[in-house]
Structure 1
Amino acid sequence: MKKTKIIAIGGGSVAVPCAPASTLAIDEEAILLAASELPVGRETVNVLFIPTASKDDLWYCHGIYTHFHLRLGCNYDHLRLLGRVPRLGVIAEKIAWADIIYVGGGNTRDMMNVWRITGVSAMLGRAHKEGKVLMGLSAGSICWFEAGLSDSNKFDGDAHWKPMWVSGLGFVPLLNSPHINSEQWRTRELARLLKVGGLMKPVVALEDNAAMEVVGGRYRIINSVTGRGAYLYRGTTRFRLAAGEEFRPLELLM
């Protein structure tokens, strides 16, 4: 039985025209992870991009195509779910084809709602059990956890929006907050919750260009920019999670 595999990235630039992805080393690790279990006779990794959180933005799709196909040599396809929704059979075929499923950033709340309505949530659950590499940044990082700290309310146009927790797929039994080093409201909100004892579960707070790699119940922090890592908010304390080569039991974070 294949091990489950998740790479949750705190943030970074991937689809910027004429510029290398800041998450390159993390993405290369995902490709190596997927390539290690390719069927005999196939050498190229298949990457499926799901851009639901960005409202199926085609420029985003083109940027991911450029990065993973043209730069990194993977086969590429994308799964757009808004507007004319593909038939369930088409969705299932695309997910079955993929070795890596990459989820982009954007509105986490709306993305999760679309996935539940279209049946994608259940299909991703099967993909997880089959050992496909599930990855993404920002919203595409939150979705693999039980829940994540999100700015989805700001997409409603309210200048006085408030942070919210959005339920994810629960493949990683922790909470997640991406962009902890680049969005100050996240640090303030987590500090407030620590003070009042309002955290439901420990929170992994990932910096941009850092990721939590979880393979078969063990984790490590990896990065594509030297010094980037993560924090663990647990109980009333914040701990630093530095990047390193060694995998550790995920239960140590509980």
Structure 2
Amino acid sequence: MPADQPTILATSGGYRPAQRTHLEFDALVHHAVELSGVTGRRPRVTVLGTASGDQRFFNDHLHQAARVAGFELSTLDLFPMPNHDDVRGHLLDQDVVWVNGGSVANLLAVWAVHDLGPSLRVAWEAGVVLSGVSAGSICWYVGGTTDSFGPELRAVTNGLALLPFGSGVHYDSEARRRPLVHALVADGTLPTTHCTDDGVGLVYHGTELVEAVSERDGKGAYVVTRDGDRAVQERLEPRRLASP
């Protein structure tokens, strides 16, 4: 039961600490599932941990979180080789594709080697909800800001470009993100850029931004546009999601 139109939920959140398990899925992950429209069975969610090297211990944390949430979770691992014979078929069989954070530059390089981009586009066009956090948010855009290359943030501009915008993740929690986004938009390195405070996600139908949502109080989303040789920022007030 795919979503009725191509849908992306790009976030700077999705997890929260837990008591009995290492982590739980917070409201943003649950909202990705809601956007898929699945009913009558356990939602199928596959996680791509490419950006952090497909860490098996973290996969186990996610399986425990999925058990608590009532999701049927799988992983699409690319290290040391793809763990599914038919990668495109696996993606098309999901309700949600969730991409974890880490190095977006490495993620994009590995995805390119495996020609994963066209399969993700096919899944998106078929109504599989694409989502993720941090690197798993930037990847859907033209590019964004990243620490993939070292402590000093740099631009990455070879994203999948399903969304024709830049991405500014962790906009409130990492002090260098905001000024670099503004500089990159002002000089034309990035197009109009959509930014999220930690705990905030942006919902797109096709390439249209339709809503900002949040799993935390007091957080914001932002649209940064170019005006001559400067950047201009507009704040969007997210809708507060109910905690699962």
Give the TM-score taking structure 2 as reference length. Answer: 0.86
Moved more, 162-171 or 231-240: 162-171
Given the alignment, which residue of 85, 96, 103 partners 1:100?
A: 96
Q: Specify whether residues 14 and 124 from structure 1 end up closer, same or farther in structure 2 by C-alpha distance, changes over 3 A only.
A: farther
| Cα offset, 1:117, TM superposition | 1.1
Give 2:191's aligned residue: 201
2:205 corresponds to 1:215:
yes
Give 1:241's aligned residue: 236
Give 1:85's aligned residue: 82
Structure 2 CA distance for aligned equivalents of residues 48 and 132 of structure 1: 11
Structure 2 CA distance for aligned equivalents of residues 100 and 206 of structure 1: 20
2:4 corresponds to 1:6:
no
How big is each residue's C-alpha offset from its partner over 1:81-119, in whole Å with a ceiling of 9 and x where there is no partner?
Answer: 0213346x4322321221100000001011111111112
Partner SS state of residue 234, structure 2: strand
Give 1:250's aligned residue: none
Asked whether the equivalents of residues 221 and 241 of structure 1 are also in contact (C-alpha less than 8 Å), the reply is yes
AA aligned opposite 1:65: H
Asked whether the equivalents of residues 150 and 166 of structure 1 are also in contact (C-alpha less than 8 Å), the reply is no
| Cα offset, 1:139, TM superposition | 0.3
| Cα offset, 1:75, TM superposition | 0.5
Alignment of 1:35-114 (within 5 A): 36-37=37-38, 42-67=40-65, 69-86=66-83, 89-114=85-110
Structure 2 CA distance for aligned equivalents of residues 12 and 3 of structure 1: 22
Alignment of 1:82-231 (within 5 A): 82-86=79-83, 89-154=85-150, 161-193=152-184, 197-216=187-206, 217-231=208-222
Displaced runs of 4 or more, over 6 A: none
Q: Specify whether residues 191 and 119 from structure 1 end up closer, same or farther in structure 2 by C-alpha distance, changes over 3 A only.
A: closer
Structure 2 CA distance for aligned equivalents of residues 66 and 244 of structure 1: 28
The structure carrying a bigger helix percent of its residues is 1
Asked whether the equivalents of residues 11 and 178 of structure 1 are also in contact (C-alpha less than 8 Å), the reply is no
Moved more, 214-223 or 102-111: 214-223
Structure 2 CA distance for aligned equivalents of residues 13 and 127 of structure 1: 24
Asked whether the equivalents of residues 9 and 136 of structure 1 are also in contact (C-alpha less than 8 Å), the reply is yes
| Cα offset, 1:166, TM superposition | 3.6
Partner SS state of residue 29, structure 2: helix
Count, aligned residues = 232
Name stretches of at least 5 consecutive residues in structure 2 with no aligned partner.
none
Give 2:34's aligned residue: 32
AA aligned opposite 1:73: G
Measured on the aligned residues, the alpha-carbon RMSD in Å equals: 2.3
Structure 2 CA distance for aligned equivalents of residues 162 and 174 of structure 1: 19
Structure 1 CA distance for aligned equivalents of residues 30 and 6 of structure 2: 18
How big is each residue's C-alpha offset from its partner over 1:171-207, in whole Å with a ceiling of 9 and x where there is no partner?
Answer: 111100100111111122124345x544531111111
